[in-house]
Amino acid sequence: MKNMLKGLGAVLCVALPILANAAADQTLVQRGAYLARLGDCAACHTAPKGKPFAGGLPMNTPMGRIYVTNITPDAQTGIGGYTEADFARALREGVAKDGHNLYPAMPYPSYAKVSDDDAKALYAFFMHGVAPVRQVNRESDIKWPLSMRWPLRFWNMAFLEKGVYRDKPGKDVAWNRGAYLVQGLGHCGSCHTPRGVAFQESALDESGSAFLSGAVLDGWFASNLTGEHNTGLGRWSDEDLRTFLKTGANRHASAFGAMTSVINNSTQAMNDQDVAAISTYLKSLPPAGGNGAPPYTYDPQATKVSLERPANDAGARVYTAYCMHCHGVDGRGFAPMLAPLAGNPNVLAKDASSLINVTLNGTGDLVINGLPSPFPMPGFAVVLDDRQIADVLSFVRAGWNNGAPALGAAEVAKLRQSTQTAR
């Protein structure tokens, strides 16, 4: 019996550390899964009706269309042969295992700020928490000589700021956590910060005045996220912002374009502490960009009169026929289910790309906790011509004291053509 107990003790001495390591590894994988949600990796690396993280999603760039790569652990077509160091280099420096440079459509200038611990957890998830998929990566449609990758080394020398995020002294834990998520894993600046002539982000953090002040990308205007009163978050409360991140809609606006995917795949899965941290950081940003107009105040009177006599106004006629039943005579919609138009930051923006695009093509479904939104915005591209859309959007941009400039049919025609070509 004594020998048997000794033998059992010896087995336990070997088995318990193995079990502890397995549990620790699984914890790391689960943490990596959460971080991958924070980074919204699925939105770009999973094609419609495709397998998770197998790539193939087309992405339009100023040089031509590229196709996002397979990041499953398949050894032949994915990243199964990557070491942890290879993975971290691709993530934070934009250099693949074989040495070729990635296009900066992959937001590695933001991911450069990801901590070593988070990079380790992400690697564990992609190696052990994702099913391998054998799917060959597709070459880009970019023509030679722009398709050459070696010039990207010089792009990186000029625009890539290496170094993980360091907490800012004088800022509290929530602010620094929010800054880390917004600037790093969340890569918010990739869409919401204007880009320069070399497709570089004009600023990578709050030290640059252009940071998160809004930008045109792939036929949409990614909204201003600074404290600007009219077109930014200046009128949003902390609760408004947290509600938007969790549900994609609040009393001011609803998600559209690529932001729908961000809500569906990323921000709704964030824990409350991270949502609060992001809100804390964004609400600290000073006003930037904007439309230069006086602070918005609601006034329904003139618009109400026009809608009572729509025969006198081409835009009012279209609005009463196609828009009023959802967005209301008062322009306030039925938030958060149906977006308001009065004072909506996207309506007030100088660049009307999003307003035109969403009217032409509608929005994708917001899917919150597995339930699709009951009232997605339909597209009117086949119902209304360019002149009618220009008229109704000019009416909306002027209505309820919005005071935004009118649009021409040529602007609508241009975006109609570009979005049809992109499809």
How many Cα atoms sit within 13 Å of 405 on the Cβ side? Answer: 10
Reduced to 3 states, what is the DSSP secondary structure of residue 345?
helix
Work out the widest C-alpha separation in the chain, in whole angstroms: 101
Burial of 333 from C-beta contacts in 10 A (0-12 / 13-18 / 19+): buried
CA separation for the pair 44, 39 (Å, rounded) = 10
Length, in residues, of the chain? 423
Reduced to 3 states, what is the DSSP secondary structure of residue 47?
coil
Binding region = 41, 44-45, 188, 191-192, 323, 326-327
CA separation for the pair 331, 266 (Å, rounded) = 30
Binding region for heme c = 41, 44-45, 188, 191-192, 323, 326-327
CA separation for the pair 145, 150 (Å, rounded) = 11
Tokens for 333? 């919609």
Burial of 63 from C-beta contacts in 10 A (0-12 / 13-18 / 19+): middle
Q: What is the DSSP letter of 323?
A: T
Helix (H) or strand (E) holding 61: strand 58-61
Residue 59's φ and ψ, nearest 5 degrees, are -135, 125
Residue 177's φ and ψ, nearest 5 degrees, are -65, -45
